[in-house]
Structure 1
Amino acid sequence: MEFLLIVALIGVVLFWAKSHNASTKRIKALAASLDERNEEVYRQEVELAGLRSQVSALAGDIASKNAEISELLSDIEDLITEEVRMGAQIEQLEKAKAGLLQKIAHLLKLRSSEVASFEAERSDLRRRLEALAKYQGIVDTEAMAKSLIDEANMMRARAEEEAAETRREAAQAAKVRIEKANQRLEVAGGEADKIVQLARQRAEEIAGDAYKAMNRAQEFTRTALAMKNIINGYGDDYIVPTYNLLDDLAEEFGFAEAGQKLKAARDTSRSMVKNGLAATCEYVEPERRETAIRFVVDAFNGKVDSILSRSKADNHGKLEQAIRDAFYLVNHNGAAFRDARITDGYLAARLDELKWAATAQALKDQERDEQRRLREQIREEEKARREYERATKEAAKEEEMLRKAMEKVQQQVEAANEAQRADFEARLLELQGKLQAAEEKNQRALSMAQQTRSGHVYVISNIGSFGEEVFKIGMTRRLEPADRIRELGDASVPFAFDVHAMIFSDDAPGLEKTLHRHFLRQQVNKVNPRKEFFRLGLEDIRQELEALGIEAHWTMTAEAHEYRETLRIEQQILENPSVAEEWTRHQQEEIEAEVGEAEAVA
């Protein structure tokens, strides 16, 4: 029994020992695994510390780069400011160049006038010599005449020599100054291009691909817009009012000066091409670079010259956009040749040509309109003069007839008996009244002919042609102002004008100008102020005249007889087809009758 217990105890001890060994092994395995995990955690902590160090270093680099970017942006702004300043200097050089050309022209004109003066003096001396020809037998007179001629010849020779010397000096001085101006322009243009190029390079270094992508996106956008404009046309999107061009000019600025500005602008463009400032390219080889630049310059100039040939006063905005579109398209196509492209400075120079071409054309049109207005005024004055002459002659003729009739009646009065005398005296009084009226008419015609500013200011409308509340305020010096109104309602407008007021004034042009100036904002034509139509109420015109102390007879409602009758006929034609047929037949008969009369006259 004890033996069995001992055996059992030994078994238990052996089982426990075996179990303890297995647990010990598991604990050792777990401890080894835990050590490996601790090592992994330590390694990751070391890596994390390294990453944190790298992040700190990167943050420092980013802050440094941001500071550098801010500094470079400031440099770019300074470069752009410098570019603007140099552009202003270039513009000043162009102005100085134009001033020199004007001064040369003035000197040449002055010398020409001096030579003409000396020539006139010489001619006068010759005439004096001819006047003394009858005294040619007298030696002293002949010697004096010869002396005068010699003196005149010497003065002329001296004047011609001085004029030639002045021309040479002026030409030489102008040549030197122009050469200096061109040299300064070339240097300034080169420096400006270098500044712009440097700014672009610095920007590319800072922003890298983002800057390039932004520029490419802008180029593609502008190129797409240019293609759209070429395909769809420019429409009214780029219209610039004509007066915008003229607003930049001084009041004394003349067409000749605009022409000189245009010539100076074209000279600047040629100088930029000649000096290599019109285009640029990334080719290093000189031959390829020159070929690529010549290609884009020729392409751009071909487009621009074609655009400039269409320059008028009223299409400046469209043509400006067309030139910009040509600039973007040529630069887009030139990208295949190592970014061969037209410079911004050359684009500005060609746009300057367009500006002065349009300005010169606008001034030319303005001058032509002024000449047309003067011719119209001269014709109007001539018609008024003929009316005055005719009225004077008719009045004089009527006076003569009445005087003869009065003399005859006077004789009859003297020879008449008491019964007949009363009738003849009544006839004589009637003739005296007519004579007085004829004399007053003659005096009025003479007075208006002598007073060049007297006339009538009229207020008229044409509802059928221009609509309601559109009035023409004009002036005529005609003795019969209604004749002028009838002329205005000729075949150029479908209906006759209605007269609302006819005001006589001793200073008709002044009164007309006063009214035009007061109603300036109500002009129908905002471009050409010489079109005398105004959109306003008739009561406004009457109140202004009353404020000026001018009384007139007014017709406030327009008759517009033909217009209203036309509306009535149109309504009847719509409602009744038989009326339409009758009206058509009547119109055809009228036309055939007019043709027959014209053929008979021919």
Structure 2
Amino acid sequence: MLSIVLLVLVGMLSGVLVVTLNKLKSLRGNLDVLQDNLDHARHKLTEYEQQVEDSDYELSQLRVQVSGLRTTLDKYKKYQEICEIEQYVINRTLQAENFVEMTKVDASIMVDDIKGYIERVKAFVEDYQTKAIQKVDQQAREKLQRYYKQAEQEYRLQDVVSALEHKIHGYQQGFSLAARDVLTELIDGYQEQDAARQLQEIRQQIEQAAQNKKVAKCNYVDEDRRNTTIDMISLAFNSRADLYLSRLTIDNLGLMLQALQDDFHLINYKGQDLSQASIQQSYLDLRLQELKFAALLLELKKVPVLTEAI
């Protein structure tokens, strides 16, 4: 029994010994691995220390360089403002160039707009100027027409006043003095037959003017009223002309001419109240020529008698 126990104990101890030996063997293997790792770590540490030494050397060199750079920087530090100014100038130059380009584009657009506006303004000014010139011209014409009518009216009034003075105060002898000059001018180159023929032609023209209703004019719209007014002032004027023709002598030709012209102005002045009724200037000229050639004929009839007497 004891032997069995011993055997069992021996077996157990053997097992424990085997396990222990295996563990020792395993530990030795691990120890070798650890030793290798330690050697490798030591090698790495040696390399790292060498790198640290190299880094320290490089760091020392860098510190020396930094010190040199600081010294150099201190030398150039006074130019820092210039560098900043240069950079500022560069930045502002770029901004200015960009602004100039944008301004050019805006200016081009603005110039096109201004050109269009100028064209529209030119067209408006030309149109306005044309209309203004036309308006001023029209106003000037109207004013000139009014001034002309006013001057013509004043001239007529002067003739009317002169005619009234002649009618009121009578005709001076000065009118008869001009008759001799008129006859002298007419008689040059004329004979009695020529004067009679000329007088006959003038009377035919007077009759034609009466037939063609060119003795007087009137602005009445109603035809009967207009014709009645024309006949009335024509009768008045012809009555005066015939009266002066019947009273005509060689010595009073100037007086008769002036009297007929005065009647012409007075009748036309009164005719203004009858829608501007008036004797035609051409008809007055015919009646004046009639008086002149009638006086000339009287003078020519008198000349042979005077010649025989001499």
TM-score, normalised to structure 1's length?
0.29
Q: Say if 2:255 is the partner of 1:321.
A: no
CA–CA separation in structure 2 for the residues paired with 1:288 and 1:312: 38
Identity of aligned residues (%): 28
- Name the counterpart of 1:242: 180
The structure whose RCO (Cα within 8 Å, separation 6+) is larger is: 2
Residues 228 and 250 of structure 1, relative CA distance in 2, 3 Å threshold: closer
Residues 241 and 340 of structure 1, relative CA distance in 2, 3 Å threshold: closer
CA–CA separation in structure 2 for the residues paired with 1:63 and 1:291: 45
Matches within 5 A, 1:234-313: 234-238=171-175, 239-251=177-189, 253-313=190-250
CA–CA separation in structure 2 for the residues paired with 1:349 and 1:292: 21
Matches within 5 A, 1:563-574: none
CA–CA separation in structure 2 for the residues paired with 1:262 and 1:211: 36
Choose the corresponding residue for 1:64, options 134, 148, 151. Answer: 134
Matches within 5 A, 1:68-107: none
Query: Conserved in 2, the CA contact under 8 Å of 1:312 and 1:358?
Result: yes
Deviations 1:472-495 (A, max 9, x none): xxxxxxxxxxxxxxxxxxxxxxxx
- For 1:218, the aligned partner's letter is Y
Residues 312 and 57 of structure 1, relative CA distance in 2, 3 Å threshold: farther
- Name the counterpart of 1:230: 167
Return the offset for 1:241.
Answer: 4.7
- Name the counterpart of 2:18: none
Matches within 5 A, 1:145-160: none
CA–CA separation in structure 1 for the residues paired with 2:137 and 2:213: 37
Deviations 1:35-70 (A, max 9, x none): xxxxxxxxxxxxxxxxxxxx9998755643566799
Return the offset for 1:256.
Answer: 2.0
Query: Conserved in 2, the CA contact under 8 Å of 1:258 and 1:360?
Result: yes
Query: Conserved in 2, the CA contact under 8 Å of 1:246 and 1:362?
Result: no
Residues 60 and 231 of structure 1, relative CA distance in 2, 3 Å threshold: same
TM-score, normalised to structure 2's length?
0.54
Residues 234 and 60 of structure 1, relative CA distance in 2, 3 Å threshold: farther
Structure 1 spans left out of the alignment, 5+ residues: 1-54, 71-202, 374-602
Query: Based on CA coordinates, which of the two structures has the bigger radius of gyration?
Result: 2
Return the offset for 1:250.
Answer: 4.4
- Coordinate RMSD, CA, aligned: 2.9
Residues 56 and 227 of structure 1, relative CA distance in 2, 3 Å threshold: farther
Matches within 5 A, 1:114-133: none
CA–CA separation in structure 2 for the residues paired with 1:264 and 1:274: 15
Choose the corresponding residue for 2:299, options 347, 359, 362. Answer: 362
Matches within 5 A, 1:495-574: none
Matches within 5 A, 1:86-485: 207-238=144-175, 239-251=177-189, 253-373=190-310
Return the offset for 1:246.
Answer: 2.9
Query: Conserved in 2, the CA contact under 8 Å of 1:240 and 1:314?
Result: no
CA–CA separation in structure 1 for the residues paired with 2:300 and 2:139: 50
- For 1:242, the aligned partner's letter is R
Residues 59 and 241 of structure 1, relative CA distance in 2, 3 Å threshold: same
Q: How many residues align?
A: 186
- For 1:233, the aligned partner's letter is G
Deviations 1:144-167 (A, max 9, x none): xxxxxxxxxxxxxxxxxxxxxxxx
- For 2:274, the aligned partner's letter is F
Structure 2 spans left out of the alignment, 5+ residues: 1-124
Return the offset for 1:209.
Answer: 3.2
Query: Conserved in 1, the CA contact under 8 Å of 2:160 and 2:269?
Result: yes
